[in-house]
Amino acid sequence: MKNLILLAFLVFFSGIVTLRAQDAGDKLIGLWEPSNGKARVKIEKIANKYYGKIVWLREPNDPQTGAPKLDKNNSDESMRSVPLKGYRMLKDFVYANGEWNNGTIYDPESGSTYSCVIKAKDDNTLDIRGFVGVKALGRTDVWKRIQVR
């Protein structure tokens, strides 16, 4: 009987710990602006992963065509008609050990995708590090939270 109570306690406690970890990860959800101020990215949670898509562009139209900007640098020609506004540039981030990792970041200006890790400096500041292969070979950008009224 004692063992049963102990087991039930452990199951309950581990459930709480898991829920707390998930809640902590959810602080990534919101609207963010990269340091260059060219775009705003809305981060949302789908299933148990985090994704970010461009919801605002400082220059939404292509100066050459006057039409909304498209993903014209995509290596897959068939996907070059995807609009940049609404583009999912952060994908598949999982929260663990105080950071969001295993994800990727897409640079629409080069058409390149990089491995990426996100760390929260505080509730309103993120360090977004894109890298190739190892984290040391990368670049960090600071994103600021946009307060939505």
Partner 1 sequence: MKVLLSFLLYLLCFCVACTESQTITFKTAPITLVASGPLFEGSNTAQGDFSPNIAAFLQQQGLAPSSLQNATLQKVSLVLPDSLHADLVSEITLQLAADQVDMQKVAVLNPVPAGQTQLTLSVAQEQKKIADLLQQNKMLLVADVNLKKDLEADWQATAVLEFLLTIKK
Residue 41: Cβ-neighbour burial (10 angstroms; 0-12, 13-18, 19+): buried
Contact stretch for partner 1 (CB under 8 A) within 8-16, 28-36, 53-61, 118-126: 53-61
In the complex, what is the shortest distance from the CB of residue 62 to partner 1, in angstroms, rounded to a whole number? 14
Contact stretch for partner 1 (CB under 8 A) within 5-13, 43-51, 119-127, 135-143: 43-51
**55 lies in the binding site for partner 1 (CB under 8 A):** yes
**92 lies in the binding site for partner 1 (CB under 8 A):** yes
Contact stretch for partner 1 (CB under 8 A) within 5-13, 17-25, 88-96, 124-132: 88-96
Q: Which among 76, 89, 114 has a CA at the least distance from the CA of 38?
A: 89
Query: Left if phi > 0, otherwise alpha if psi is -120 to 50, otherwise beta: which for 117?
Result: beta
Which residue is listed with tokens 């707390």? 20
**123 lies in the binding site for partner 1 (CB under 8 A):** no
Longest Cα–Cα distance of the chain, Å, equals 75
**33 lies in the binding site for partner 1 (CB under 8 A):** no
**79 lies in the binding site for partner 1 (CB under 8 A):** yes
103-to-9, 32, 78, 90 alpha-carbon distances in Å = 34, 17, 24, 7
Residues lying near partner 1 in the complex (CB under 8 A) are found at 42, 44, 46-49, 51, 53-55, 70, 75-79, 81-83, 85-88, 91-92, 104
